[in-house]
Amino acid sequence: MDLQYLLLLQKFRQATGGALNDFFLQISDLSYGIFIWTLACVLFWAADKKTGAFLFLNMAVSRFLMQLLKLTFCVYRPWIRSSEIVPVETASGYSFPSGHSVTGASNYGTLMARYGRRHKPFGAFMAVMLLLTMFSRNYIGVHTPQDVAVGAALGLAVVFGGDRVWEWIDKKPGRDRIIPCAGAALTALFLLYICLKSYPMDYDADGKLLVEPAKMMKDGYKDAGRFLGVCLGWYLERRYVRFSTDVPALTKAARCGVGVLVILVYELAFMPAVTGAVQGGWIGFLLTFGELMLLTVVYPLCFSRLEGRRARVPAGT
């Protein structure tokens, strides 16, 4: 039934000459990658520090859990399961759950939870963006309805469950230490698990692996690095850097302008250069861990010192 639904959408694409393909590709891309991390940084550095921190944490946790599910169930993509399905663009790795739906739900869900009650039209817009993101993954043929439904449910569970966790942490000093400690323990267990578990080793007619477990493990390493980097970075900033967003507009603009440049250089130049020169999953882990530490601790420490502001927010807020 799930594949029949994708074939029905495929027939619609063919009948309309792919008129909506680019639109849904753009919708899909908005929920994943550099744009969302940049949005989290801008909020965190200059506009709404708490919401920015929530975006970082919710994205990192949801992607970490997504990789755990992907590498546990190892579900093949729709076109592997049925040769009739021809996607608009191919995607690598396993299918379940949909990574774009997970991150879309954690991103749009966070913004909806933080701003939707006070600004109902904005909340409705975020809900529409999430639904469009989910549908886009079906429309372009890279995920089944089950993939996107479970992905969105996972992302939203992290958002609304996370709210309760952060409230509990804020009620008593010292509870925030749980986050880096739990993050380190879970990261170690996750890496041990994905290294020791077995994976499907199915081949196509040409003798090529349908999905290379080594590549999917690399993706797992990367998201494990992000997860640990956010858990540790959030704690270190909260305890020791404690910068304030109560600064002039020009200072906020300078923080964001330089910071976005840092992100672009790191993502588009430094990371590709290093991964091209050094092979292995661990380099991906170290690069993503380093990036999140840079964005949440190192860069805020630099701009707070350069601005010469001694006044900081109280520890633990």
**Is 314 contained in some domain?**
no
**Is 315 contained in some domain?**
no
Q: The tokens of 253 are what?
A: 């603009």
* Per-residue model confidence (pLDDT) at position 51: 93
3-class secondary-structure state, position 219? helix
Distant-in-sequence, close-in-space partners of 272: CB < 8 Å, separation ≥ 6: none
Pair 237, 296: CB distance under 8 Å: yes
**Is 82 contained in some domain?**
yes
**What does the angle CA 151 – CA 156 – CA 161 come to, to the nearest 5 degrees?**
130
**Is 200 contained in some domain?**
yes
pLDDT in tens, the chain (317 residues): 788 999 999 999 999 999 999 999 999 988 887 888 899 999 999 999 999 999 999 999 999 999 999 999 999 999 999 889 999 988 888 999 999 999 999 999 999 999 988 889 999 999 999 999 999 999 999 999 999 999 999 999 999 998 888 889 888 888 999 999 999 999 999 999 999 999 998 888 788 888 888 888 999 999 999 999 999 999 999 999 999 999 999 999 999 999 999 999 999 999 999 988 887 779 999 999 999 999 999 999 999 999 875 445 555 55
Angle, helices 178-196 vs 49-73, to 10°: value is: 20
Q: The tokens of 154 are what?
A: 């996972």
Q: How many domains does the chain have?
A: 1
**Is 221 contained in some domain?**
yes
| Calpha distance 224→228 (Å, rounded) | 6
Prediction pTM value: 0.91
**Is 317 contained in some domain?**
no
**Is 316 contained in some domain?**
no
**Is 311 contained in some domain?**
no
Q: In terms of residue numbers, what domain contains 205?
A: 2-306
* Per-residue model confidence (pLDDT) at position 60: 95
